[in-house]
Structures are given as structure tokens and as C-alpha cells.
Structure 1
Amino acid sequence: MSNIKDNFDHILALLNINALNEMQLASIEANEKEKDIVLLSATGSGKTLAFLLPLLSRFQPDNKKTQAIIIVPARELAMQIEKVFKSLGSGFKVTCCYGGHLRETEENNLIEPPALLIGTPGRLADHIRRGNITTDSIETLILDEFDKSLEAGFEEEMAFIIGSLPNIKKRMLTSATQAVEVPAFVGLKDRQVLNFLTDEEASPEKLAFKVVNSADKDKLESLFRLVCYLGNRSTVVFCNHRESVERVSAYLTEQSITNVFYHGSMEQQERDSALCKFRNGTSNILVTTDLAARGLDVPNIRYIVHYHIPNTEDSFIHRNGRTARMDASGTVILIIGPEEKTPAYVPEAEPIELPQETILPEKPKWSTIFVAAGKKDKVNKVDIVGFLSNKAHLKKEDIGLIEVKDFFSFVAVKKIKMNETLRLIKNEKIKNKKVKIDIAK
């Protein structure tokens, strides 16, 4: 583990953080021993670094086969872990596998085995059955948010994957929930439990709880008035059903409230577009199901609104974990209908008296451009910045967050510059190739 400790300053500089927290340091120390590890820590506390840093120290540079596998319950979490791993600048190859991603692309990525494989249970099991993954070289197994994988019904696929890994020497499980039994197929033997789920973390002072009492069973008008009351701060609105997500989003749009929606029935490009618009400030409001309750890493989310009361306390905790992350503060707001009662697990909540007069929030200052070219087309962020600077005459401050995917990219551009930008680049080529460029749908 010495190589990680020796490179702390360099790693922290790459991550733009001052220091690791107590939980992350405890994980690094525990990983120096032979024991398997169960890490329990609150959502948003930094568990990803807590397992990636020790993992990195075990990698052998001369080993050209896959050395570790991370199994996660959702594709967004897989992509987030991949992003963090790449930011460490280790030089080790990583490949992400998940449903909704082109299997042919993943198969090409697996021809040259990655040191680290990250993926969802169904897709990883599929690749193993097809012989695309060499499993006998994998010595480290990490189950991130393993409780959610079990809850989502992935037990059979996980059992198959783990049963296909004959040479595991180190196992590490993470969860933000304490009361979950680890199935026997995981193979935990001599384990060390790192429990950072303290009472203080379960109801942190930095998280405020408030309630809106709606006179209408439907609650749509109450949500609209609440959004006007909150202003243009970053807000996630949780619903219990996909149909409700689209209905709520459509209603807000009708009321001239800029928003995006996100749920499991959307195509991958639609999901990526929605999350990108929320991250880059094209929309300050995301309407979603519990799909976004885990793995969604968007900094500075100010408000969590429970349009529907969550079905379980666990769901409530994970929804709330999208705000008040690390050192930030946040506010959780429940909208309670006339026939509903506040669940017993909700801390004492201060009522919000919404004003009768509604003032629409200020519109976002950014728009998002879709570019039909990405990593597989050898297009990167530098190429896109250069293209927009040279062809559309945009200044640095006119270009916001850029996200480059495998076959397409999203670019935030100041809204006041959008029409002129599209006019200027209409017939231009990027890296000598004519590609579709338009406002992101």
C-alpha cells in the first residue's frame, strides 16, 4: 500500500481535494491486511475512493490481464466509478459494461483485457457466458452498494459471476444500509467490518427537513408553487412511478418551468442527455424515479423534493443522499396530500407556507448542443473547444461543461450565443468529418 501513501499529494491534486476523510483512510489501512472488508458508510461520504485507492495499489503493471471486477446495481453508478478511476491518472485500462450500451462496443473493448472491469450483473454475466471475459486472472472482487443489487433481484446473476471467479483473494463490499445479510455465495470468510453509519450521519445537522401540506390529492399545483418559491436552485423531484415522472415533467413544462426527466424506460442517449443538461445548468430541475437515488453524482444539489412519499425508509435515505454531500448542506422537502401522513421515519419537519402569488424562477443561462461524434471517433474535449472557438468564435466563458461519450458528445453553450453558434457551425467539419450538430433533445 506504500505506493498509494507515497503518492497521496499527487492523487489529491488530481482529484482537486485537500485530504481524504476518516472513512477513506480507515479503508486504506484495513486493505493492507488479508481480511475481506465490509464498508458501511452514508451515501455521499466518498466510498468510491475508499475502494479505488486500495485497489489501485494492488494492481501489477506487468500483468496485462483483468485483475479486478466491480459489480454495481445501476449503469449510472458504473459510469461514475469509471470516471473517478480515470481521474486518478493511473494508466491502467478500465472497461465499463452495462445494459443499454452497445454489446459490440464492449466486446471490442474486452479484446485487450482491461485491468479493471466495472459493470452491472446482467451484462457482466452475459459477457462471461459468451467467453468475452477471462475470469481466472481476477483476484479482487468489489460489490458496490451490494444491498441494492440484492434488492433489485440480481442475486442469480451475481451468484453466477462470483462462481465464475476461481482465484479471488480479496473481497470488498460497500453499502449505505446496515441491516442486510451477505449471501453465502459472496464467499466472505475472515471479514473486517468498517461501520461509519453513526446516528449523527443518519440525520445530519447539515440536512434540513421541511414539509408542504397540499390541499389537493394530485399535488401538482403545490409542486409548481414550491418550485416558484425555491427559485432556480438545483432541485431533484422524486416520484414513485415512471408514468408519474413524465406527467409531472409535462405539467411543469406547461407552466413554463424548465426541467428534464429521467427514468429506467428511456434510451441510453436520452438518459445521458437529461443528466448532462441537469449537470451543466441547462435545467435546474430533474424529475426522476428512484433510479437516480443511487449513483447520481451531481455536485451542489440544493433541494430534494419527495413529490411521492417513498415506499421504504431505505429509499428515503438514498434519495436524500443526493444532497448535503461531503461538506455541503441541503434541504429535504416532502409534499404531503390531504389523505397522507408523514411516515414515522421522517425527522421532525418544519412546515413551509407557500405564498399565493407565484413568480416564475429565472430561466437557466445555458443550453446544450448535441454532437454526433465521441471517443470512438477520436473526438475529445480539446477538439470540441477548439472547434467552437475557431468556427463559432466562442470565448472560454461561453463554453460550459463538455461530456464526451463513445459515439456522441454534449456541450453547454451560453443560451444567448446558441442561435449564432448553430448558424456558424452548420456546414463545418470537426476533425475533417461532417457530423450532425444540433440542440440536444
Structure 2
Amino acid sequence: MRLSFLSEKKGLKGLTVRVVKSPVKDKLDTLYRLLGELKGESALVFCNLREAVERVSEYLTETGTDNEYFHGGMEQSERERALSRFRNGSATVFISTDLASRGLDIPEVKHVIHYHLPHNEEAYTHRNGRTARMDAEGNAFLIINEAETVPEYIAREPEEFFLPETAGKLLRSEWITLTINRGKRDKLSRKDIAGFLFQKGGLERDELGVIEVKESCSFAAVKRDKQAALLSRIRNEKIKNMKAQFN
């Protein structure tokens, strides 16, 4: 179902909005089954409370779902790592409060999931703005239990997205994030890290993904199946003549 009022006013021409009904008040199982239908594509899950963000993340982690969570109560270093893992594809599911609905450097997201209904139309619009950018296609799902209804500010009743009785298998990301406790303050660059991982770690170019260098640490996406061998090779090596911790 296309929302014409959003398409015209907000520029979300490629946005498709659907309702997913939860048979019980607790929506965790419904969310898990929905993610199983998204085939490992990137998803941004919005909750209204910090406690709910962490609870959803803990549940998904227990199911083996690659995810990160994000809210204003976290330390800066924790937020940076969470964002990095989502940007580089190590985590395909990102659970957040409305803090992630604007102002953050987050890549194009395929699916926005309203685990909790937004408080108002402005919040709804900003959340949905994380997908269907620049004429791309994107989906927004509203998970609604029996006690909830579609908010009045949604002009047309979205069509229902039906879930199978059993959850589909969630696809794990092929990437995993390597953390290095050296960064900009150590005059470390992305080029330094790439060269080190190629020469000392034995990685091929297609086995190394996005590299981000922060003030005091760095993150590099590497192929999951190369992680163990890589850590074994570089554990006692120096990077740019500096001792470092790799994990």
C-alpha cells in the first residue's frame, strides 16, 4: 500500500507500509518471525523506551540474530561500535529509540520496523525517512497487537503482511567486526590498517570490508570465516610499530 500523502509531501515515493499483527501483547516472537522473512536485509527497529531496546536486542541475540542496539544512555564508545557494526554489515538489525531517526550517519536501510508505534506523525515520518531514499524502494512495518490500532495520522489503512506460523531461518551476516585499540590519536589511518591486515593477517582484498578509524580505536569488517585464522596471525604483531589489542 503506497501512502500518497507521504509520497507527495515527504518525498518517500518508494515507501511501502504494511501492518503486522501480533497475536499477543508481547511482540518479540512476531518481530523474530518478521525478520526471518526479510532474508538478512538491513532492518532498523524502533522502540519507545531504552529498556525495551535492550530487551529486544537481548532476545534477538539469544536467537542468534546479528544485531546492535543504540540509545542515549550508552557510552560514546559503545554507540560508535554499534553504529560501525551496522554500517559495515556485521549487524543487519539495529534496534534504537528515536535517537536513530535523524542526525546520525546511517546508511540506506531496506526495512524500518515500528516495534512500538511512534508517539506522533513527526516521529513516524522521521523514522520512515531512514528508508526509501533517493527514489530507492523501502518498507515500513507497524507491529500491532490486539490492544492497538493504526494511528489516525496514517491516511490509508496499510495492507496486512501475513507471517508464517514458524519462523524462517535468519541469514547470518558474512561479515564480522575486528576492533583495534588504536586510532586517530595514534596517527593510524585506514590505509595503515588495510596494509597490516593484508600483509600480516593474510587477507585478500575481497575479505576486507569497511574500515573506520575513530579517535581512540578502529573498526574493520572482515569475512566471518576468516576471523579465527586472522586473529591467530596478528595477535602478537605490531601495527605501525605499535603494540595493539585485536578482538
TM range (shorter): over 0.9
What is residue 237 of structure 2 aligned with on the other side? 428
Residue of structure 1 equivalent to 2:14: 206
Residue matched to 2:107: 299
Residue 218 (structure 1) aligned with residue 48 (structure 2): no
Deviations 1:121-150 (A, max 9, x none): xxxxxxxxxxxxxxxxxxxxxxxxxxxxxx
In structure 2, the residue matched to 1:261 is 69
Secondary structure of the structure 1 residue equivalent to 2:37 = helix
CA RMSD of aligned residues (A): 1.5
What do residues 21-54 of structure 1 show as CA deviations (whole Å, max 9, x unaligned)? xxxxxxxxxxxxxxxxxxxxxxxxxxxxxxxxxx
Shift of 1:204: 3.1
Give 1:162-201 correspondences, 5 Å limit.
200-201=8-9
Letter in 2 for 1:383: D
- Please tell me whether Structure 1 or Structure 2 has the larger radius of gyration of its CA atoms: 1
Partner of 1:246: 54
Q: For 1:410, which of 204, 219, 233 is the aligned residue?
A: 219
> What is the deviation of 1:199?
6.5
Distance 2:201 2:7 in 1: 53
Hey, which of these two has a bigger chunk of helix by percent? 1
Q: Deviations over 1:282-326 (max 9, x none)?
A: 011001100100023333310000000011111111011111111
| 2:45 aligned counterpart, secondary structure | strand
- Counterpart of 2:187? 378
User: Structure 2: which amino acid aligns with 1:274?
Assistant: A
Q: Distance in 1 between matches of 2:30 and 2:47?
A: 14
Aligned twin of 2:171: 362
Matched to 1:241, the amino acid is: L
In the TM superposition, what whole-angstrom CA distance separates every residue of 1:247-278 from its partner, at most 9, and x where no partner exists?
01111112222211111111111101111111
Structure 2 distance, partners of 1:327, 1:204, is 7
CA contact (8 A) 1:297 1:322 kept: no
State the Cα deviation string for residues 389-431 of structure 1 (Å, max 9, x = none): 1101111111100000111100000001100000000000011
Corresponding residue number in structure 2 for 1:132: none
| Alignment-derived partner of residue 437 in structure 1 | 246
**Aligned match of 2:126 in 295, 318, 328?**
318
Residue type matched to 1:408 in 2?
Answer: C
Which of 120, 145, 155 matches 1:337?
145
| TM-score, length-scaled by structure 2 | 0.94
* Kept after mapping to 2: 8 A contact 1:304/1:331: yes
CA distance in 2, matches of 1:259, 1:387: 28
Q: 1:432 to 1:281 in 2, by over 3 A?
A: same
- Tell me the distance in 1 between the aligned counterparts of 2:244 and 2:34: 41
**AA in 1 matched with 2:69:** F
> 2:179 corresponds to which letter in structure 1?
F
Contact 1:258 1:363 in 2 (8 A): yes
> Of 187, 201, 207, which aligns to 1:398?
207
Task: Describe how 1:133-148 pairs up with structure 2 within 5 A.
Answer: none
The answer to whether the 8 Å contact 1:296/1:322 transfers is no
Spell out structure 1 runs of 4+ moving beyond 3 A: none
What residue ranges of structure 2 are gaps of 5+ in the alignment? none
Asked if 2 retains the 8 angstrom alpha-carbon contact of 1:262 and 1:287, the reply is: yes
Q: Is the 8 A contact 2:201 2:230 kept in 1?
A: yes
Distance 1:423 1:199, change over 3 A: closer
Provide closer, same or farther for how the CA distance between residues 382 and 299 of structure 1 changes in structure 2, counting only shifts above 3 A. same
State the identity %.
46
SS of structure 2 residue aligned to 1:276: helix
Secondary structure at 1:208's aligned position in 2? Answer: strand
Question: Aligned in 2, Cα 1:258/1:199: closer, same or farther, shift over 3 Å?
Answer: closer
Q: Distance in 1 between matches of 2:41 and 2:7?
A: 29
User: 1:209·1:347 contact (CA, 8 Å) conserved in 2?
Assistant: no
Q: Deviations over 1:341-369 (max 9, x none)?
A: 11011243110110112122211000001
Question: Which whole-Å CA distance do the structure 2 matches of 1:402 and 1:421 have between them?
Answer: 16
Amino acid across the alignment from 2:103: G
Structure 1 residue runs without a partner (length 5+): 1-196
